[in-house]
Protein backbone atom coordinates (compact mmCIF):
# COMPACT_ATOMS: atom_id res chain seq x y z
CA UNK A 1 0.00 0.00 0.00
CA UNK A 2 2.85 2.41 0.80
CA UNK A 3 4.31 1.93 -2.68
CA UNK A 4 0.91 2.61 -4.29
CA UNK A 5 0.45 5.77 -2.23
CA UNK A 6 3.94 6.96 -3.22
CA UNK A 7 3.09 6.30 -6.86
CA UNK A 8 -0.15 8.27 -6.53
CA UNK A 9 1.64 11.21 -4.89
CA UNK A 10 4.23 11.32 -7.69
CA UNK A 11 1.60 11.19 -10.44
CA UNK A 12 -0.43 13.84 -8.59
CA UNK A 13 2.53 16.22 -8.61
CA UNK A 14 2.91 15.80 -12.39
CA UNK A 15 -0.85 16.13 -12.89
CA UNK A 16 -1.04 19.38 -10.95
CA UNK A 17 1.86 20.79 -12.96
CA UNK A 18 0.71 19.62 -16.39
CA UNK A 19 -3.08 19.77 -16.13
CA UNK A 20 -4.57 21.58 -13.13
CA UNK A 21 -2.26 24.59 -13.14
CA UNK A 22 -2.77 25.12 -16.91
CA UNK A 23 -6.57 25.34 -16.81
CA UNK A 24 -8.89 28.21 -16.06
CA UNK A 25 -10.34 27.32 -12.66
CA UNK A 26 -14.00 27.60 -13.68
CA UNK A 27 -13.46 25.67 -16.91
CA UNK A 28 -11.78 22.84 -15.03
CA UNK A 29 -14.60 22.73 -12.48
CA UNK A 30 -17.15 22.41 -15.29
CA UNK A 31 -15.09 19.70 -17.00
CA UNK A 32 -14.99 17.69 -13.77
CA UNK A 33 -18.69 18.21 -13.08
CA UNK A 34 -19.74 16.90 -16.48
CA UNK A 35 -17.35 13.96 -16.47
CA UNK A 36 -18.19 12.92 -12.92
CA UNK A 37 -21.94 13.37 -13.38
CA UNK A 38 -22.01 11.21 -16.51
CA UNK A 39 -20.20 8.32 -14.84
CA UNK A 40 -21.72 8.69 -11.37
CA UNK A 41 -25.22 8.42 -12.81
CA UNK A 42 -24.08 5.94 -15.46
CA UNK A 43 -23.03 3.42 -12.81
CA UNK A 44 -26.66 3.43 -11.64
CA UNK A 45 -28.04 2.83 -15.14
CA UNK A 46 -28.39 6.31 -16.67
CA UNK A 47 -27.58 6.02 -20.40
CA UNK A 48 -26.33 9.60 -20.95
CA UNK A 49 -22.83 9.58 -22.42
CA UNK A 50 -20.31 12.26 -21.49
CA UNK A 51 -21.22 14.14 -24.68
CA UNK A 52 -24.95 13.80 -23.90
CA UNK A 53 -24.27 15.12 -20.41
CA UNK A 54 -22.36 18.10 -21.76
CA UNK A 55 -25.19 18.88 -24.18
CA UNK A 56 -27.76 18.69 -21.38
CA UNK A 57 -25.64 20.95 -19.19
CA UNK A 58 -25.47 23.54 -21.96
CA UNK A 59 -29.08 23.40 -23.17
CA UNK A 60 -30.96 21.97 -20.15
CA UNK A 61 -34.37 20.55 -21.12
CA UNK A 62 -34.38 22.59 -24.33
CA UNK A 63 -32.75 19.76 -26.24
CA UNK A 64 -32.80 16.28 -24.71
CA UNK A 65 -30.51 13.98 -26.74
CA UNK A 66 -32.28 11.58 -29.08
CA UNK A 67 -33.16 8.28 -27.42
CA UNK A 68 -32.83 9.57 -23.87
CA UNK A 69 -35.74 9.72 -21.44
CA UNK A 70 -37.08 12.70 -19.54
CA UNK A 71 -36.47 10.74 -16.31
CA UNK A 72 -32.77 10.38 -17.16
CA UNK A 73 -32.57 14.07 -17.98
CA UNK A 74 -34.08 15.08 -14.64
CA UNK A 75 -31.81 12.63 -12.84
CA UNK A 76 -28.78 14.26 -14.46
CA UNK A 77 -30.02 17.83 -13.91
CA UNK A 78 -30.57 17.11 -10.22
CA UNK A 79 -27.07 15.62 -10.06
CA UNK A 80 -25.66 18.86 -11.45
CA UNK A 81 -27.48 20.83 -8.75
CA UNK A 82 -26.37 18.52 -5.96
CA UNK A 83 -22.75 18.60 -7.16
CA UNK A 84 -22.74 22.38 -7.41
CA UNK A 85 -24.40 22.79 -4.02
CA UNK A 86 -21.96 20.50 -2.26
CA UNK A 87 -18.79 21.76 -3.94
CA UNK A 88 -19.72 25.45 -3.71
CA UNK A 89 -18.24 25.70 -0.21
CA UNK A 90 -15.43 23.28 0.59
CA UNK A 91 -15.04 24.74 4.08
CA UNK A 92 -18.29 23.13 5.26
CA UNK A 93 -17.89 20.24 7.68
CA UNK A 94 -19.21 16.76 7.07
CA UNK A 95 -22.52 16.75 8.92
CA UNK A 96 -25.81 14.91 8.98
CA UNK A 97 -27.60 18.07 7.82
CA UNK A 98 -25.29 18.56 4.83
CA UNK A 99 -25.74 14.92 3.80
CA UNK A 100 -29.55 15.13 3.95
CA UNK A 101 -29.67 18.51 2.19
CA UNK A 102 -27.51 17.23 -0.65
CA UNK A 103 -29.56 14.05 -0.99
CA UNK A 104 -32.73 16.16 -1.09
CA UNK A 105 -31.36 18.02 -4.10
CA UNK A 106 -29.92 14.92 -5.76
CA UNK A 107 -33.18 12.95 -5.65
CA UNK A 108 -35.73 15.78 -5.81
CA UNK A 109 -37.39 14.90 -9.12
CA UNK A 110 -36.81 11.16 -9.34
CA UNK A 111 -37.09 9.42 -5.96
CA UNK A 112 -40.87 9.52 -5.55
CA UNK A 113 -41.24 8.35 -9.17
CA UNK A 114 -39.44 5.12 -8.33
CA UNK A 115 -40.51 4.72 -4.68
CA UNK A 116 -43.89 6.27 -3.94
CA UNK A 117 -43.54 6.61 -0.16
CA UNK A 118 -39.90 7.77 -0.13
CA UNK A 119 -38.91 11.39 0.53
CA UNK A 120 -35.71 12.93 -0.82
CA UNK A 121 -33.43 14.06 2.01
CA UNK A 122 -34.93 11.68 4.57
CA UNK A 123 -33.46 8.42 5.80
CA UNK A 124 -35.08 5.09 5.06
CA UNK A 125 -37.93 3.83 7.23
CA UNK A 126 -37.38 0.21 6.21
CA UNK A 127 -34.54 -2.29 6.00
CA UNK A 128 -32.57 -2.21 2.76
CA UNK A 129 -31.11 -4.63 0.22
CA UNK A 130 -29.19 -4.08 -3.01
CA UNK A 131 -28.12 -6.75 -5.48
CA UNK A 132 -27.12 -9.77 -3.43
CA UNK A 133 -26.48 -7.77 -0.24
CA UNK A 134 -28.96 -7.51 2.62
CA UNK A 135 -27.98 -4.66 4.93
CA UNK A 136 -28.45 -4.56 8.70
CA UNK A 137 -31.25 -3.18 10.83
CA UNK A 138 -31.92 0.24 9.30
CA UNK A 139 -32.55 1.94 12.65
CA UNK A 140 -29.23 0.75 14.04
CA UNK A 141 -27.36 1.68 10.87
CA UNK A 142 -28.85 5.18 10.63
CA UNK A 143 -27.61 5.92 14.15
CA UNK A 144 -24.08 5.31 12.86
CA UNK A 145 -24.27 7.84 10.01
CA UNK A 146 -23.61 11.02 12.07
CA UNK A 147 -20.83 9.14 13.88
CA UNK A 148 -19.18 8.22 10.57
CA UNK A 149 -19.41 11.81 9.35
CA UNK A 150 -18.02 13.19 12.62
CA UNK A 151 -15.13 10.73 12.76
CA UNK A 152 -14.28 11.33 9.09
CA UNK A 153 -14.28 15.10 9.64
CA UNK A 154 -12.05 14.67 12.70
CA UNK A 155 -9.61 12.45 10.80
CA UNK A 156 -9.60 14.93 7.92
CA UNK A 157 -8.75 17.85 10.23
CA UNK A 158 -6.01 15.88 11.97
CA UNK A 159 -4.50 14.84 8.63
CA UNK A 160 -4.35 11.35 10.10
CA UNK A 161 -4.84 9.41 6.84
CA UNK A 162 -3.86 9.86 3.23
CA UNK A 163 -6.76 11.71 1.54
CA UNK A 164 -7.54 8.93 -0.96
CA UNK A 165 -7.46 6.28 1.76
CA UNK A 166 -9.79 8.37 3.91
CA UNK A 167 -12.13 8.95 0.97
CA UNK A 168 -12.24 5.24 0.12
CA UNK A 169 -12.86 4.15 3.71
CA UNK A 170 -15.64 6.67 4.15
CA UNK A 171 -17.28 5.50 0.94
CA UNK A 172 -17.08 1.84 1.88
CA UNK A 173 -18.50 2.36 5.38
CA UNK A 174 -21.23 4.65 4.09
CA UNK A 175 -22.41 2.19 1.46
CA UNK A 176 -22.81 -0.51 4.08
CA UNK A 177 -24.84 1.85 6.26
CA UNK A 178 -27.06 2.45 3.20
CA UNK A 179 -29.25 5.04 4.95
CA UNK A 180 -31.46 6.22 2.06
CA UNK A 181 -34.18 4.44 0.08
CA UNK A 182 -32.34 5.23 -3.17
CA UNK A 183 -29.31 7.20 -4.31
CA UNK A 184 -26.86 5.76 -1.76
CA UNK A 185 -24.21 5.07 -4.40
CA UNK A 186 -24.44 8.49 -6.01
CA UNK A 187 -24.46 10.44 -2.74
CA UNK A 188 -21.70 8.22 -1.35
CA UNK A 189 -19.42 8.93 -4.30
CA UNK A 190 -20.29 12.63 -4.14
CA UNK A 191 -19.21 12.83 -0.51
CA UNK A 192 -16.12 10.69 -1.10
CA UNK A 193 -15.03 13.25 -3.68
CA UNK A 194 -16.07 16.17 -1.48
CA UNK A 195 -13.52 14.85 1.03
CA UNK A 196 -10.84 14.81 -1.67
CA UNK A 197 -11.72 18.31 -2.86
CA UNK A 198 -11.56 19.65 0.70
CA UNK A 199 -7.98 18.35 0.84
CA UNK A 200 -7.11 19.79 -2.59
CA UNK A 201 -6.93 16.44 -4.36
CA UNK A 202 -8.55 15.74 -7.75
CA UNK A 203 -11.86 13.94 -7.71
CA UNK A 204 -11.94 10.26 -8.59
CA UNK A 205 -14.00 9.22 -11.59
CA UNK A 206 -15.24 5.64 -11.31
CA UNK A 207 -16.12 4.95 -14.93
CA UNK A 208 -19.37 3.10 -15.67
CA UNK A 209 -17.32 0.51 -17.53
CA UNK A 210 -15.61 -0.30 -14.21
CA UNK A 211 -18.89 -0.91 -12.37
CA UNK A 212 -18.42 -4.65 -11.95
CA UNK A 213 -14.88 -4.31 -10.58
CA UNK A 214 -15.95 -1.43 -8.32
CA UNK A 215 -18.82 -3.45 -6.82
CA UNK A 216 -16.53 -6.42 -6.25
CA UNK A 217 -14.12 -4.20 -4.31
CA UNK A 218 -16.99 -2.97 -2.13
CA UNK A 219 -18.19 -6.53 -1.56
CA UNK A 220 -14.67 -7.54 -0.55
CA UNK A 221 -15.17 -5.51 2.62
CA UNK A 222 -18.00 -7.82 3.66
CA UNK A 223 -16.04 -10.96 2.76
CA UNK A 224 -12.66 -9.97 4.19
CA UNK A 225 -13.64 -7.34 6.78
CA UNK A 226 -11.06 -5.02 5.23
CA UNK A 227 -11.23 -1.75 3.30
CA UNK A 228 -7.87 -2.45 1.65
CA UNK A 229 -9.44 -3.54 -1.64
CA UNK A 230 -11.54 -0.39 -2.13
CA UNK A 231 -8.59 1.76 -1.03
CA UNK A 232 -6.39 0.21 -3.71
CA UNK A 233 -9.20 0.56 -6.25
CA UNK A 234 -9.56 4.28 -5.48
CA UNK A 235 -5.81 4.86 -5.72
CA UNK A 236 -5.47 2.92 -8.98
CA UNK A 237 -8.53 4.67 -10.47
CA UNK A 238 -7.07 8.06 -9.59
CA UNK A 239 -3.67 7.21 -11.04
CA UNK A 240 -5.23 5.86 -14.23
CA UNK A 241 -7.35 8.97 -14.74
CA UNK A 242 -4.46 11.38 -14.18
CA UNK A 243 -2.10 9.47 -16.46
CA UNK A 244 -4.77 9.20 -19.15
CA UNK A 245 -5.43 12.94 -19.21
CA UNK A 246 -1.73 13.81 -19.25
CA UNK A 247 -1.14 11.37 -22.12
CA UNK A 248 -4.13 12.74 -24.06
CA UNK A 249 -2.82 16.27 -23.70
CA UNK A 250 0.66 15.22 -24.82
CA UNK A 251 -0.57 13.23 -27.82
CA UNK A 252 -3.07 15.82 -29.04
CA UNK A 253 -0.50 18.57 -28.83
CA UNK A 254 2.10 16.46 -30.65
CA UNK A 255 -0.30 15.30 -33.36
CA UNK A 256 -1.57 18.81 -34.03
CA UNK A 257 1.90 20.33 -34.26
CA UNK A 258 3.18 17.58 -36.52
CA UNK A 259 0.11 17.83 -38.76
CA UNK A 260 0.41 21.61 -38.93
CA UNK A 261 4.11 21.56 -39.76
CA UNK A 262 3.63 18.92 -42.49
CA UNK A 263 0.91 20.85 -44.33
- pLDDT at position 116, please? 87
| 3-state secondary structure (DSSP) of residue 129 | strand
Q: Could you tell me if residue 90 is inside a domain?
A: yes
Per-residue H/E/C for 189-209: HHHHHHHHHHCCCCCCCCCHH
The rounded average pLDDT for each run of 10 residues, N- to C-terminus, in the chain (263 residues) is 96 97 95 98 96 93 86 97 98 98 97 89 94 92 98 96 98 97 97 97 96 96 94 98 94 67 55
Residue 165: inside a domain, yes or no?
A: yes
Q: Which residues contact 170 (CB under 8 A, 6 or more apart)?
A: 148, 152, 191, 192, 195
Give the Cβ contact number of residue 207 at 10 Å: 17
Position 84 scores a pLDDT of 98
Whether 118 maps to a domain, the answer reads yes
Q: How far is CA 137 from CA 97, 179, 237, in A?
A: 22, 10, 32
Q: Which domain holds residue 134?
A: 2-248
C-alpha torsion sign, points 113, 181, 229, 86: positive
Let me know if residue 254 belongs to a domain. Answer: no
Q: Is residue 263 part of a domain?
A: no
For 130, phi then psi, to 5°, come to: -150, 125
Does residue 258 fall inside a structural domain?
Answer: no
Residue 78 included in any domain: yes
Q: What is the pLDDT of residue 155?
A: 97
Domain count, the chain: 1
Instruction: Say which CATH number the domain at 198 has.
Output: 1.10.3290.10
pLDDT at 261: 52
pLDDT at site 221 = 94
Amino acid sequence: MDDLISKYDKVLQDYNNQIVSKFDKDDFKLYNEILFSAHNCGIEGNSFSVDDTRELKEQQLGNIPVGKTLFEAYEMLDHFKAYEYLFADLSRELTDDLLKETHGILMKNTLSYRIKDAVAGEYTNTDMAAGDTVFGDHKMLIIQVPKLLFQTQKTLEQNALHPVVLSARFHCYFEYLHPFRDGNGRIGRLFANFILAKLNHPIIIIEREKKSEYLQMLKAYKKENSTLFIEEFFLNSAILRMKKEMEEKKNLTKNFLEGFVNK
